[in-house]
Amino acid sequence: MSPFPTSAPAGQMDFLFRCIGCEDLSSDAGQDFRCSRCGDLLEITYPDWKQAKPDAEHLRSAWHNRRLSPKPIDLSGVWRFRDVLPRLDDSEQVITLREGNTPLYDLPRCARIAGVPRLFAKHLGMNPTGSFKDGGMTVAATFARRAGFRWVACASTGNTSASMAAYAARGGLRSLVLVPEGKISWSKLSQSLDYGAVTCQLRTDFDGCLRLLQELVLRAPVYQLNSINPFRLEGQKTVALELLEQLDWQVPDHIIVPGGNLGNSSAIGKALLEMRDLGLIAKLPKLSVIQAEGANALVRTLREAAGKHLVSVQAETRATAIRIGNPASWKKAVRVLEATGGACEQVSEMEIAQAKAEIGAEGIGCEPASAVTLAGLKKLVKQKFVKPEETVVLILTGHLLKDPDFTIEFHRGELFKGSAGNVSALNPLRRPPAVLDATIDAVMRTLEQAEKS
């Protein structure tokens, strides 16, 4: 099959692609979303903003007023912010599942544990397919269909594929999923099956799946919906807008995100910089990225190579969503950390499990990859990077039910069986299910014991 030459939508465009390296501008992103001159990744930029910056007050009130509208494009917590997204000439073109509009919870007990006065969780796991991917997917799938593609494809640790499959199905597109065999949760795999994707479990890891996809898109007319697709990041940007709106435009001191392929940190960082440039916020929060120790490519890139070149790793972690050793958007993430003054930390498997249970004990379920944020916050407080009076927002990226095996193994005490570490610290958080005879006495005894503990 011949290469499919254009990934930019036909018709009037209010945006251009800009190379993050040489800053070359172009109206075509090719099939690999890389600069045709220097090979760096592309991002979307809005040249009109130079002449006629959208007015901050006008934006705020338009976004607020749209919450009262019954139109599908306004009911979407992503398209509600369409003034800072690539323009569509017709709102009917939108593929939406009513994504976004996710809750901001306070976490008083986790705040006490971490040692900060105010701690919030922006729970992106409350999106239609259970993860933050929906925010980017609604935009990227919409533009894929508008550009005339019939097939979309992604490599995934499970959440991108679930989201892509759902949006493709809603939009009448076919989808191809490449996932590492045996390395993603069944819950996520079940989603892409149910939404009708052609699902390939490849005998490799996520990085191997992504490499294969890069070759595939040059040979087949499929449109890549991984987060190197700059339309994805535009959609994911709206999380930061919605968060600031929920905080009444009061800027928190810190936002903490998990880091895998590093698209999300890049998107949220881009949004913060744009919001500052548009006068929506007066200062930047520090955006910090937390990785699992076993998948710490960005941590090592900063520590060992001062952010100049990628130090890739052979990734291993039970937080399978972020089991990524060769993150595609590492340069964008480094830029965001530098621009906002954020930190990059790593946390152990036990720290992740403990943090996840602590968040769960507040009635808020998230997947292990999301819990790295609380585990990382505890470290950043100890290091005095986060000060005792500062306000912190954790970005929870996926729902608890995305990976129930992890949670069940944790509570049954099976998660770290055979591992050398000291697991006793986790015991107070464990709530194993009791298997009992079906008698009142047995249940009463269990209740009494629980009351004492």
- Interacting residues with ligand F0G (CB under 6 A): 131, 156-160, 227, 258-265, 321-322, 367, 369-370, 397-398
Query: For the chain, how far is it from start to end, CA to CA, in angstroms?
Result: 66
Total Cβ atoms within 10 A of residue 62: 15
Alpha-helical segments (H) within 220-346: 230-246, 263-277, 297-305, 330-340
Tokens of residue 400, six digits: 């608890």
Q: Min. distance of Cβ 249 from ligand F0G in angstroms?
A: 25
Q: What is the DSSP letter of 41?
A: B
CB of 340 to ligand F0G, least distance (A): 16
Considering beta carbons, is residue 16 or 44 the nearer one to ligand F0G? 44
Rounded to a whole number of angstroms, the minimum distance from the CB of residue 207 to ligand F0G is 10
In whole angstroms, the minimum distance from the beta carbon of 265 to ligand F0G comes to 6
Quick one: 160 or 238, whose CB is closer to ligand F0G? 160
CB of 179 to ligand F0G, least distance (A): 8
Candidates 288, 308, 314, 164; CA nearest to 229 is 164
Residues 6+ apart with CB under 8 A from 133: 127, 159, 160, 162, 163, 164
Residue 227 or 326: the one with the smaller Cβ distance to ligand F0G is 227
Mind giving me the DSSP string for 364-400?
--B-HHHHHHHHHHHHHHHTTSS-TT-EEEEEE-BBG
Compare residues 94 and 322 and give the one whose CB is closer to ligand F0G. Answer: 322
Kindly tell me which of 242 and 367 has the beta carbon lying closer to ligand F0G: 367
How many whole angstroms separate alpha carbon 36 and alpha carbon 19? 9
Least Cα distance to 126 among 101, 108, 105 occurs for 101
Decide whether 133 or 146 has the Cβ nearer to ligand F0G: 133
How far lies 130's CA from each of 102, 115, 126, 184, 245, in Å? 11, 29, 6, 15, 22
Least distance CB 264 / ligand F0G (angstroms) = 3
- By beta-carbon proximity to ligand F0G, the closer residue of 296 and 370 is 370
- Which of 328, 100, 96, 335 has the alpha carbon at shortest distance from 227? 328
Angle, CA of 3, 12 and 223, to the nearest 5°: 30
CB of residue 45 vs ligand F0G: minimum separation in angstroms? 20
Nearer to ligand F0G, 76 or 261 (CB): 261
| Shortest distance (Å) from residue 233 CB to ligand F0G | 9
Cβ of residue 1: shortest distance to ligand F0G, in angstroms? 25
Distances 142 to 73, 173, 413 between C-alpha atoms, Å: 12, 10, 44
Nearest to 288 by CA among 343, 352, 347: 343
CB of 146 or CB of 370, closer to ligand F0G:
370
Q: How many residues does the chain have?
A: 453
Cβ proximity to ligand F0G: between 261 and 391 the closer is: 261
Minimal distance, residue 38 CB to ligand F0G, in Å: 23
Compute how many other C-beta atoms are within 10 angstroms of the C-beta atom of residue 66. 18
CA–CA distance, 164 with 175 (Å, rounded to integer): 7
